[in-house]
Structure 1
Amino acid sequence: MTSRGTPSRFLKSVLQNGVGRYICQLKRISIIFSKTSPGSLGIREFIEEGVVDYTKKNPGTVVYVSPQARETPKLVAEYLNGNVREEIVSSKTSQEISELVAKLTNQSGMEIIRLRKPFHTDSPSIQGQWHPFTNRPPSIGPIRPQKPEAK
């Protein structure tokens, strides 16, 4: 926690993801719905139309479909780091559910919090961060837009 009262952390890569090959952090997704509830209509349509396409695009993610009587329809996403996210999908359309599943697939499973700095290193440089004007002599002065010439 910081003095602002909101949790924050430094920017970091999950398991060096993106260095080498990409590993999807979503391990398993469970679709829980009711066979008869009107609130589960969108999730039933998603199961009929989109689950097979999703599993073909994401072979590393296991999809469980479990009908349960009188249960609120929800998606339960489990990630490699052990975090679990539950999303209630009652009265959502098939398109909204497919967008939500895509969002859950692209996330790392870590909670979304404020980042302290856009850069961080474990071994900081003595010189400081480089930018295009690092070695620019101060005698030149600041860069200003050119004025149009009068004709």
Structure 2
Amino acid sequence: MEKSILHAVEVPWQISPSHDFIEFIGEESEVKTKFLINYNAKIREREIKHLCRQYGNEEKIPDEIWNRVGNAIIEINFAQVHFFSKTVSQQEYGLLDSEKFDLSQIAYLDDDLWNETNICPDPSFYEVINSNLKSRLGIDSLSVRHWLILGHDVFFDILAPSFNWEVV
């Protein structure tokens, strides 16, 4: 069996590896998921500078605000969903089965590259290029794409043409 190839989605954030998804809503052919995400050091520093101007210095920034620096909650929306599944990982280490997925295309998290490009090298959000799931379900439309989102100990498979995301 050919392994599925993962391609990192180009976004400026990484789904927090230490938190699970916050919420998921599935209605008809629409799916919405919420995750805690982390931004790169460059964005965190910009947030700290902004807060220092607002509060005077770092020591005066309230703890409840300081604890959210560099983080946000995002909602990822998929419309025209053909398939959705949430799976709890059966792997002892890591979420993805290396027998099913070719993990060689996933870049290591390189903070310098992330800061330079503002694109996270490993956001825990991927497009599955040669989807075995699509073929198993008999979906051969080129407009339907296979998306994979990794949470802390669950992953989501979504077959849909596209997605959008926003900070909530």
Q: TM-score range by the shorter chain?
A: under 0.3
Max Rg structure:
1
Give TM-score scaled by structure 1 length: 0.27
Higher RCO, 1 vs 2 (CA within 8 Å, ≥6 residues apart): 2
Which of the pair is proportionally richer in strand? 2
Give TM-score scaled by structure 2 length: 0.26
